[in-house]
């Protein structure tokens, strides 16, 4: 029996949009400016979900800069964020086949939205650059809540903005690539889908089933097929 769905929510980086290439570019630029060797693309991708500080620390430690102060870390982090804001969407793109999912949902009149731990000013700018801002029905960022994911508060905020009562959370799918995404969605009572193609470190790869997602998709194509499967979900 298929499950009735009123809306679909996505995490942003590593789930709906592949933003890693822009982070790789910025870390490469910062490394070059300091006469350092940049970490590999794979190493940087694995740190994206951990945030700007984690990527900056990776760069420093990769170049044996281990005795840095908190002030130095904050300075590099701010430079990273400033460079990212200035050129936020050079190489970022919607993951293959997921544009088809967004279009299909829109054709069915099913709202889709984003619940992310990315700051609002960067999330809004990225969506605007990608011309997704007017299509996204709801955007919830850490700035909007007192407790970000893995707490369910952002999920409840998204439901409220969509006009869906908490009691109907089971009709809203949440897709994410981090354990905090699955924990937040599960805590809110939403069906959860793990985007295992996202920015997941190697040490977590063998534990994905333990995260408790209702579904695990290994590729964007698998996610698209699942979301558009009439045997699983009913959007009518």
CA distances from 195 to 11, 67, 85, 92 (A): 9, 36, 26, 17
Given a contact cutoff of 8 angstroms between Cβ atoms, the answer to whether 101 and 227 are in contact is: yes
Report the alpha-carbon distance of residue 199 to residue 20 in Å, rounded. Answer: 8
Any idea which residues carry the catalytic annotation? 11, 13
Q: Kindly give the confidence (pLDDT) of every residue in the chain, 236 residues in length, as a single tens digit, with 9 standing for 90 and above.
A: 678 999 999 999 999 999 999 999 999 999 999 999 999 999 999 999 889 999 999 999 999 887 788 999 999 999 999 999 999 999 999 999 999 999 999 999 999 999 999 999 999 999 999 999 999 999 999 999 999 999 999 999 999 999 999 999 999 999 999 999 999 999 999 999 999 999 999 899 999 999 999 999 999 999 999 999 878 899 86
Q: What is the pTM of this model?
A: 0.94
Tell me whether strands 7-10 and 172-176 are parallel, antiparallel or unpaired.
Answer: parallel
82: number of Cβ within 10 Å: 10
Q: Quick one: CATH architecture of 5-15+94-226? A: 3-Layer(aba) Sandwich (3.40)
Report the alpha-carbon distance of residue 75 to residue 73 in Å, rounded. Answer: 5
Domain boundaries defined on the chain:
5-15+94-226, 19-85
Given a contact cutoff of 8 angstroms between Cβ atoms, the answer to whether 138 and 162 are in contact is: yes
Report the alpha-carbon distance of residue 213 to residue 195 in Å, rounded. Answer: 10
The 10s digit of each residue's pLDDT in 104-123 is 999 999 999 999 999 999 99
Sign, CA torsion 159/147/196/126 = positive
Return the pLDDT at 236. Answer: 63
Return the pLDDT at 13. Answer: 97
Whether omega before 150 lies within 30 degrees of 0, making that bond cis, reads yes
**Residue bearing tokens 């994911």:** 149
First-to-last CA distance in the chain? 14
Report the alpha-carbon distance of residue 45 to residue 201 in Å, rounded. Answer: 8
């Amino acid at each position: 029996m298929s499950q009735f769905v009123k809306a679909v929510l996505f995490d942003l980086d590593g789930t709906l949009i592949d933003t890693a290439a822009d982070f790789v570019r910025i870390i490469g630029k910062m490394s070059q400016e300091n006469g350092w060797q940049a970490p590999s693309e794979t190493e940087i991708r694995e740190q994206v979900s951990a945030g700007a500080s984690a990527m900056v620390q990776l760069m420093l430690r990769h170049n044996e800069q281990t005795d840095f102060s908190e002030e130095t870390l904050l300075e590099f982090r701010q430079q990273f964020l400033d460079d990212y804001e200035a050129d936020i969407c050079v190489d970022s793109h919607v993951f293959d086949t997921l544009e088809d999912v967004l279009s299909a949902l829109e054709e069915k009149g099913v709202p889709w939205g984003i619940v992310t731990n990315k700051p609002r000013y960067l999330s809004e700018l990225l969506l605007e650059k990608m011309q997704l801002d007017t299509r996204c029905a709801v955007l919830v960022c850490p700035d909007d809540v007192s407790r970000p994911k893995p707490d369910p508060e952002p999920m409840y905020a998204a439901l409220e903005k969509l006009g869906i009562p908490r009691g109907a959370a089971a009709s809203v799918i949440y897709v994410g690539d981090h354990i905090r995404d699955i924990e937040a969605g599960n805590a809110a009572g939403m069906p959860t889908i793990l985007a295992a193609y996202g920015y997941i470190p190697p040490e977590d790869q063998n534990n994905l089933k333990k995260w408790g997602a209702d579904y695990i998709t290994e590729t964007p194509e698998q996610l698209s097929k699942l979301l558009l499967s009439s045997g699983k979900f009913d959007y009518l």
